[in-house]
Amino acid sequence: MDSDGTQDARGTHATPVPRSRSAVPPRPTAPPMPDGSAFLTWLRTPRPEAAPGVWRFGHVARPEEEPEVIPARQLFSGALIAFLVGWLIWSLLWNEYLGGYWMWPYYALTPESWTKPKTEGEEIVGSIASYLYYGLVAVGIMIGAGRLGRWSEIWRRYLRPALRRITAPQTGEAPPPPQEDPAQWPALRAVGAVDVAERLAAEARAGMMRDVDHARIARAWQSVRSGRHSLATFTGAVLKDGAAACLHPSGERDLPTRLSRHDLVTGQVRLGTTADDPRNPYAYRGTGLALGPELLGTSLLAVGPAGSGKTGTVVRPLAESLCLHALAGRAAVVVVGAAGAGLGPADAYDVVVRIGNPESVYDLDLYGGTTDPDEAAAVLAEALVGDLADPHPGSDSRRSTTVLAQLLGPFRAVHGRFPSVPELRQLLDGAPGPLAALRTALEGSGQESLLRELDARERQMAHPGDVGGVLADRVALLDRPAFAGFFDASGLSRPFSLKALDHPVRVRIDLPARGHADASRMLARLVLAQFTASVAVREDRSLFACLILDDATGVVTPEAVRGIQRLRSGNAGAVLTLRSLDDVPRPLRGPLLGAAGCRMALSGLTPWDGQDFAEAWGKEWTEARDVTDRQIIAETPAGKALHAVRRVITGKAPTARAVTVRQVERERWSASELAHAVPPGHAVLSLTDVRGEHAPPLLVDLRD
């Protein structure tokens, strides 16, 4: 017998055991088995095609135009009145107040034996037929009353959602058929890899698979289909390791922490919710706002003052998403910002370069990993004096590039490497010792062309206005004690080069903002120049590459704008944030806004910055309504008396309202609205994807 007095299964009577507070269940000998139901539910959630920027996970499409919504009070009162009218009509018919005309169809369609029965059977049949006719008439009256009272709208707006809420917990969704179930890997089954599909499906059901694993294996299968890897290698890896197959070189299968909502099936990260505002298109209102590689491939420019949420609500989620893509083998990301800017933990990155920090494991390659002196000179010149060039879009820094090439070429020919920062500074300053030693080494090698380059450099040093002095002053910003252990060109350190963007690498570069603001801006220009040069020569462009600059102040130059314009063709993009467009030279503001396919204006924008965004977003045709109230003049004594009574009651003179509707062209968002009508924590964002589809400027709540 159990403790409640029942008999046990063996037929004996067990002694009740008193319950004790100290009694605890025994410790399990093995950890509980994970459950894969949550992962399967996530994987099977529908993700319909949607407009650019819409969070597709579980999205329910809305109509393009806003339907006419009747107020609830008016809707229910009209439905009640229609019901009463239908009831009144039926009562009048039933009580023959309207005569017997409504029975004529029944008499015309039924045999006389039903209407005038002679037997009991005919009477029963006639009674049934008559009541069926009464029911048809009543249903017809109710259908008419329902259409008049809009009962169907009450059902759609109130009754059906309430019914779904009641029945949803009681009914479970059946899994889709195997040929449509993504958890069954139908693409693998279609090519005969049934054993591989079964292994992956079993791991998903057992809870051993994560969203990163699914994305990574799907990426590996895509590589097999494109011919970059063999089917046998892929099959062997999956059968051996299951969901842990095809791991990232770091061996990680997820990030240490996640702060944002990600969907690796579509590649999106959710940034917020599109506000339910009349200025937003109806199809976007209330939907999630998300970004992915298809949008970042056109580059993103976010402008907002300090404290508006650029780093926390834009940069951090995007960096987190791209790091997940890198773990899945889909992307390579470089995140650049000030030390301590909150760009994610160091464990979330493969390479962390802390410039100016002696504890930094990695160094930054000043020359971008290239061995071509001309290419190295072009990138370095952009970093050193790109901001001093004429800011008009057609200008460049060719003179500085030539000066650097005249020194880098001979130095590499002699030493087999490029000069370090102190050596480059001495050469640009025209120190006689290093130049004489370089000349002596070249004279014995028989490289006459490099000697001519060196001769030309020495002649130009004697001329006033030589850019070598300016370059030397800029290099001196890096020749400081804080950077003594960095930018080593001897190969003894571990320099990071952006040539590594051929691999799914996660990189974070911390700039020394405090006390070295000019050097930080120069290094940011260097990273941007190296990034645009590296993505243009990548062999595998199926890997999305993205550069995130948390603060692009002093980085935007004519060459940088041209480089950003070329990123889309190389399956790459850039994310730039600015406190104000005043940090960009006036001639470059328009080209920068034109080069960025996605533009974001955060709350707190100044009116002059808002004017630039308003011009970039252009105008649209809208419907304007002009309402005019005209006083009614009575001409008859009765009319005048009636108007006098109305004036006493309402306190206003009788008027007639005239409404004029016309089409006008207005700015989508004016400078004043951007400066004063964007609430805190919100932003106005326009989107363009790599296929050219556009989304108009949307008011987005970044806090949701």
**What whole-number distance in Å separates Cα of residue 434 and Cα of residue 426?**
7
Q: Which of 37, 35, 31, 2 is nearest to 19 (CA)?
A: 2
> Residue 115: what residue type?
T
Give the pairing type, strands 694-701 and 495-496.
Answer: unpaired
**What whole-number distance in Å separates Cα of residue 167 and Cα of residue 490?**
71
| pLDDT (0 to 100) of residue 168 | 55
**Distances from the Cα of 256 to the Cα of 324, 327, 685, angstroms:** 11, 12, 30
Rounded to the nearest 10°, the torsion over CA 362, 367, 371, 373 is -160
Q: Are 42 and 207 in contact (CB under 8 A)?
A: no
Collapsed DSSP state (helix, strand, coil) of residue 257 = coil
In this structure, the number of other CB atoms found within 10 A of the CB of residue 44 comes to 14
**What whole-number distance in Å separates Cα of residue 665 and Cα of residue 639?**
43
**What whole-number distance in Å separates Cα of residue 262 and Cα of residue 165?**
27
Do you know the residue count of the chain?
A: 704
Q: Which of 540, 529, 550, 537 is nearest to 505 (CA)?
A: 540
| DSSP annotation string for 335-365 | EEEETTS----GGG-SEEEETT-TT-S-EE-
**What whole-number distance in Å separates Cα of residue 104 and Cα of residue 521?**
93
> Residue 242: what residue type?
G
DSSP 438: H
Q: What is the pTM of this model?
A: 0.82
Cα atoms found within 13 Å of the Cα of residue 315, Cβ hemisphere only: 29
Spans of the chain, pLDDT less than 50: 1-24, 28-33, 170-172
| pLDDT (0 to 100) of residue 114 | 78
| DSSP annotation string for 594-658 | HH-SEEEEETT--HHHHHHHHHHH-EEEEEEEEEEEEEPPP-SHHHHHHHHHHHHHHSS--EEEE
Tell me the angle at which helices 231-241 and 194-205 cross, rounded to the nearest 10 degrees.
Answer: 30
Which distant-in-sequence residues (6+ apart) come within 8 Å of 473 by Cβ?
none
Q: Are 156 and 72 in contact (CB under 8 A)?
A: no
In this structure, the number of other CB atoms found within 10 A of the CB of residue 434 comes to 19
Helical H segments across 503-606, by residue range: 517-535, 558-567, 586-595
For 407, list phi and psi in degrees, rounded to 5: -105, -40
Beta bridge partners of 547: 334, 574
> Residue 641: what residue type?
A
| pLDDT (0 to 100) of residue 126 | 81
In this structure, the number of other CB atoms found within 10 A of the CB of residue 621 comes to 9
Both tokens assigned to 215: 């994305």
b vs e for 234-270, b when ≥16 Cβ sit within 10 Å of the residue's Cβ? bbebbeeebbbbbebeeebbebeeeebebbbbbbbbb
Q: Burial level of 106, CB count in 10 A (0-12/13-18/19+)?
A: middle
Q: Are 593 and 419 in contact (CB under 8 A)?
A: no
| pLDDT (0 to 100) of residue 686 | 97
Q: Which of 327, 305, 243 is nearest to 543 (CA)?
A: 327
DSSP 54: B
| pLDDT (0 to 100) of residue 73 | 85
Q: Taking CA 560 as the corner, what is the angle to CA 554 and CA 563, rounded to the nearest 5 degrees?
A: 160
Collapsed DSSP state (helix, strand, coil) of residue 175 = coil
| pLDDT (0 to 100) of residue 394 | 60
Q: Which of 552, 627, 562 is nearest to 582 (CA)?
A: 552
